[in-house]
Amino acid sequence: MKRTAIELADGRELIYFDEREDAVRDQADRRDLPPPPPASQLRYDPLTDEWVALAVHRQTRTFLPPANQCPLCPSRDGRRGEIPATAYDVVVFENRFPSFSGRIATEPAEITPFTPVRPGQGRCEVVCFTDDHHASLANLAPRRVRTVLDALADRTAALSDLPGVQQVFPFENRGVEIGVTLHHPHGQIYAYPFVTPRTRALLAAARRHADRTDGRNLYADVLAAERAAGDRVVADNEHWTAYVPAAARWPFEVHVAPHRPVPDIPALRDAERASFGPLYLDLLRRFDGLFDVPMPYVAAWHQAPVRIDRELGHLHLQLFSVRRAKDKLKYLAGSESGMGVFINDIAPERAAQLLRGA
């Protein structure tokens, strides 16, 4: 894989990840762009012990443009987008409308004595999987998934070194039902200046388990139990298992986990990276085959925090969909949104059975 970094017209970084070593990336970004926005504002919620980001500039971000105006397509035929090249394999660039960035503006110290404020320092990046606007990750080749995974490893390592970054979160949103604003096949990476609430809960449970079991890894033990039970396993190979969690929150939810506990994507060995793509593509195609329609989903990489509790983590990908039937969606209504208590309409064992048969 060849890595080439350039600077866009407004100073943001863009990186090409090419599958050919002879790729030439000398096209310049000739757009006239305004300066990138400053970092968002973080406000602390004392009632939940959580940080909330206010990124008001994102209200004007691009929203579901027609294909001939997609900013993630290559620049060709007189149209200039975010990527100057006329063709590409995988591209990563700093988001033009970021939730977190390193461009710090002066902020007040607090809103009230209970609500301190600080800059949303960090970084948000866009990961384009292909230059084909009408493709999806599910119909790409295993080699391309490997390139994407290597790009995520590169970016996880680089973003982890940024000042103030505490957690790196790669993810993909697919489908208008999920809330995507661009149809082009892409994912994102958030570098947070704090450890997220979800990860804090996972770490707290892992720490309690380690204390009770003389240091054992909770996720590794859960994975071993799921592999032994077998009825919720959807697919596996030498290095990875894809299974529906016994307490799945979503109608169709699958964890894809390496058998060897590692904290993050950069820690994966070559054989583990190579064997991920075929299994993941099989899983995505099963999702699409469930109802014979493209499945809306979120694919969320759970990585250990950058600076604390890395020994408690176990890298895994959480893939889930809001679709519970061909013509029905799962909404986060009163119990889920108000209390955080999920109520699932489909038994995990049944979901695994349906996915195995898709």
Computed over every residue of the chain, the mean pLDDT equals 95
pLDDT class of 64 with cuts at 50, 70, 90: confident
pLDDT class of 185 with cuts at 50, 70, 90: very high
Q: Is the pLDDT of residue 120 over 90?
A: yes
Do the domains at 2-194 and 198-357 have one common CATH topology? yes
The H or E element containing residue 118 is: strand 115-120
Structure tokens at 172: 């993909």
Q: Minimal CA–CA distance to 83: which of 21, 8, 147?
A: 8
Q: According to the model, what pLDDT value does residue 56 have?
A: 86
Q: According to the model, what pLDDT value does residue 109 have?
A: 78
Q: Is the pLDDT of residue 67 over 90?
A: no
Q: According to the model, what pLDDT value does residue 278 have?
A: 98
Q: How far apart are CA 167 and CA 188, in angstroms?
A: 14
Over residues 285-309, mean pLDDT: 97
Q: Is the pLDDT of residue 193 over 90?
A: yes
Q: Is the pLDDT of residue 138 over 80?
A: yes
Q: According to the model, what pLDDT value does residue 285 have?
A: 98
- In the block, which residue shows the tokens 């661009």? 182
Q: Phi and psi (nearest 5°) for 154?
A: -60, -50
Q: Minimal CA–CA distance to 277: which of 243, 317, 305, 231?
A: 317
Bridge partners (DSSP) of residue 92 are 15, 127
> How many other C-beta atoms can be found within 10 angstroms of the C-beta atom of residue 330?
22
**Which homologous superfamily does the CATH classification assign to the domain defined by 198-357?**
HIT-like (3.30.428.10)
Give the percent of the chain with pLDDT over 70: 100
Q: What is the pTM of this model?
A: 0.96
Q: Minimal CA–CA distance to 232: which of 214, 257, 212?
A: 257
Q: How far apart are CA 25 and CA 337, in angstroms?
A: 46
pLDDT tens readout for residues 222-266:
999 999 999 999 999 999 999 999 999 999 999 999 999 999 999
Q: According to the model, what pLDDT value does residue 317 have?
A: 98
Ranges assigned E (strand) in 27-101: 40-45, 50-54, 90-94
Q: How far apart are CA 292 and CA 301, in angstroms?
A: 26
Q: Is the pLDDT of residue 108 over 80?
A: no
Q: How far apart are CA 120 and CA 101, in angstroms?
A: 7
Q: Is the pLDDT of residue 61 over 90?
A: no
pLDDT class of 63 with cuts at 50, 70, 90: confident
pLDDT class of 173 with cuts at 50, 70, 90: very high
- Collect all residues with Cβ–Cβ distance below 8 Å to 269 and sequence separation of at least 6: 260
Residue type, 6: I
Q: According to the model, what pLDDT value does residue 256 have?
A: 98
Judged by DSSP in three states, 331 sits in: coil
- Collect all residues with Cβ–Cβ distance below 8 Å to 41 and sequence separation of at least 6: 53, 54, 107, 117, 118, 119, 120
Query: Angle 132-32-95 (CA atoms, 0-180°, nearest 5)?
Result: 50
Over residues 5-15, mean pLDDT: 98
pLDDT tens readout for residues 11-38:
999 999 999 999 999 999 999 999 999 9
Bridge partners (DSSP) of residue 117 are 43
The H or E element containing residue 252 is: strand 252-258
Q: Is the pLDDT of residue 106 over 80?
A: no
Q: Is the pLDDT of residue 111 over 90?
A: no
Q: Minimal CA–CA distance to 223: which of 251, 244, 196?
A: 244
Q: According to the model, what pLDDT value does residue 321 have?
A: 97
**Which homologous superfamily does the CATH classification assign to the domain defined by 2-194?**
HIT-like (3.30.428.10)
> Where along the chain do its domains lie?
2-194, 198-357
Catalytic choice (186, 255, 314, 316): 186
Q: Is 186 tagged catalytic?
A: yes
Q: How far apart are CA 301 and CA 313, in angstroms?
A: 12
Q: According to the model, what pLDDT value does residue 104 have?
A: 87
pLDDT tens readout for residues 205-216:
999 999 999 999
